[in-house]
A and B are shown apart, each in its own frame.
Chain A
Amino acid sequence: MNDIFKKIPGLMWGSLLMILFFVIFAPNYTNQRNIINILQNSAIIIIVSMGMGITILSGQIDMSIGGVMTASAVISAMYIAHIQEPTVTDILSTFLIGIGVGGVFGFLNGLLIAKYKFNYWLVTFAMMSIAYGIAQVVTQGKVISGFSKSFRNVTTFSLGNIPMVVYIAVLVSLFMFFLTYKTKFGMHIYAVGASEKCAAQSGIRVDKVRFVIYLLSGLLSGFGGVLLVSKTNFASANVASGQEFTAMANVIIGGISFDGGKGGLLGAFAGSIILTAILNGLQLMGLSNYWQQVFTGIFILMIIIIDVVSQRVKKTKNTRRVYKNA
């Protein structure tokens, strides 16, 4: 029992308390339809949070996630919008296109940051802008909607009362868990994040690791973008605006720290569901959309502050303890 106590990061406790609040006070919070709603709403953000998760684990951050999702969404939307009766091949191609768009951005990020050592903040931020710009160009400011049922079914088809998109999210998550918890590459992600210097000196090809991380993050964002179109039946030039911020928050709630090398994707998974559940609760309580945004912003900032401060306190405590015992 004590072990579980230790494993769940402090922030999660706070968030769980909030959820408890909603369980008590929000109407219909715990009935089956709402729970399915929460799971369904968190599915896509879970997928892209995996990408954000590995980037932060490696000690950096990918700001382009929202932009890449948007670009992928609109480009794949444009492809399939005109096809009235898409075949399986058409739908598959749509997904490949979306993932491909993500891959291109991921590749560029990886190239500039891992190989040419440019500042990762700036590169991913600029990529985000370029991606949003491309989305603007493609849509001409218009909204694309009204996709075929078969395309939409990819995410919304209900299997045993649960929409497909949830299963997809679980599958992707299981793959990412496997990658990061079990494989050698996963170990190297942690090593690079824990101490890039140590990793390099021990023989890890840091640039290769980082390149793959950005590529993977891009692919996941691309995938998320297409799923978003399928799920919401809708694509526009700011459809995924701000998702990187949400992904950041999910990851931190889940115990992954900005320092790098700490935490795990399980946390990203849990954090995504928790944050979605909180937002859901707010909505059920009747909070207006705008207040939700303020609240989300403040909540996320609180999380970041608590994380930063507690990391610092832990470090000092640790140094003191270690040197006292010397």
Chain B
Amino acid sequence: MLKTTIHKNLNKHSRLLLLIALFIFFSIFTDSFWSPTNWSNFANIILQQAPFTVLLSLSMTISIILKGFDLSMGADIALVSCVVGFVLRATHSPLLAILAAVGMGALIGMGNGVLITKVGIQPFIATYSMNWIVRGVALVLLGGSQIYDFGPTFRPLFLQSQYTFFIISALICVFFEFVLSKTVFGKYIYAVGTNKDAAELSGINPKFVQFAAWTLCGVILGIDAVMYTANLGVAEPVIGDSFVMTAIAASLIGGTSISGGAGGVYNAVVGALILVVLTNGMIHLGVPSAWQQVVVGCVIILSVCFEHLMNRKRD
């Protein structure tokens, strides 16, 4: 009896334990991790770096719940960033820029949604194709150049307080936690993700649910792009190459099941934090940035193995 309780709890909280373990590991093995300068660095991680990854992870988690992957993430962020840049350069208005970002993000999300529901292409292929088109559009819009001219109010709006990004992403997380666990639509998402046929036979319209969910993912990415651009200070079309891998790794290592139908904001957040701490720690360990991509890829494979093993045990 005790053994099963321990086993159950271990499984439930294993991610959190992993996060703490990583933290301790890096503290011990690097000099700079625990220094007073790094304490503020730690705050920096949570407040500055994590929010972007958290939103990426959240968007990907929703896609994975619906048994798909969004391979267009990097390009989406790049395109929205370019759009933001254009709007800002033309109008200097943060409000218009944010609206444009949300709109563009939603549009891309709808594009993915249409391909997946109406045309019926597998999400992997659909988003992969969108990736190239969206990236291409971004390149056509800005070519090799960048936009720096954001006007006087855009960056200060976000940067004047170190808590801004954290608050924005926290709000979004809270909102989606509410949607996923407390609304009918959330229940629909889990139903469609668990068993599309049973959901349809229960009177749910899977096509609509998927379309709406993918659109929402696009909106999340739109907001993320705004934050990213504000932080970076420049809008350019070449960013985001590693975003997809990061998002998938964060979502999976946070505990989202690869077979769909399960997972939530908690998984997205914890997974993102693990990944950020891991990346940050690697930098402090002196691991060259090139290796980090390799590590992320391995993390994905290991997460899949881990889940495979856990399921095997249950049977």
Contacts and interface: CB of A to CB of B under 8 A. Distances in A.
Direct contact of A and B (CB under 8 A): yes
Interface of A: 112, 116, 118-119, 121-123, 125-130, 132-134, 136-137, 140-141, 237, 242, 245, 258, 288, 290-291, 293-298, 300-301, 304-305, 308-309, 312
A282 B305 CA distance: 45
Given A118-B304, A133-B297, A137-B294, A304 B69 contact: no
A314 B2 CA distance: 58
B297 A305 contact: no
Nearest to B144: A290
Contact of B292 (A133, A305, A309): A133
Given A305-B121, A308-B120, A308-B121, A245 B128 contact: yes
B278 interface: no
Nearest to B293: A133
A126 B115 CA distance: 24
A110 to B, nearest CB: 14
A121 B71 CA distance: 11
B290 A141 contact: yes
Interface string B279-315: 0000000001111111111101100110010000000
A295 B135 CA distance: 11
Contacts of B133: 294, 297-298, 301
Contact of A129 (B135, B139, B258, B297): B297
Interface string B125-164: 1001110110111011001000000000000000000000
Nearest to B125: A304
Contact of B300 (A126, A137, A298): A126
Interface of B: 69, 71, 115, 119-122, 124-125, 128-130, 132-133, 135-137, 139-140, 143, 245, 248, 258, 288-298, 300-301, 304-305, 308
B288 A137 contact: yes
Contacts, number: 110
A137 B139 contact: no
Contact of A130 (B137, B289, B294): B294
A245 B127 CA distance: 12
Contacts of A127: 297
Q: Is the interface of A mostly helix, strand, loop or mixed?
A: helix
Contacts of A123: 301, 304
26 contacts: A118-B308, A119-B304, A121-B124, A122-B69, A123-B304, A125-B69, A129-B294, A133-B297, A134-B294, A137-B288, A140-B290, A245-B132, A290-B140, A290-B143, A291-B140, A293-B132, A294-B133, A294-B139, A296-B136, A297-B136, A298-B133, A298-B136, A300-B129, A301-B115, A301-B133, A304-B129
Contacts of B290: 133, 136-137, 140-141, 237
B260 to A, nearest CB: 11
Given A291-B136, A297-B133, 15 more contacts: A118-B301, A127-B297, A128-B297, A129-B300, A133-B297, A137-B290, A140-B288, A288-B140, A293-B132, A293-B135, A294-B139, A298-B133, A304-B125, A305-B121, A308-B119
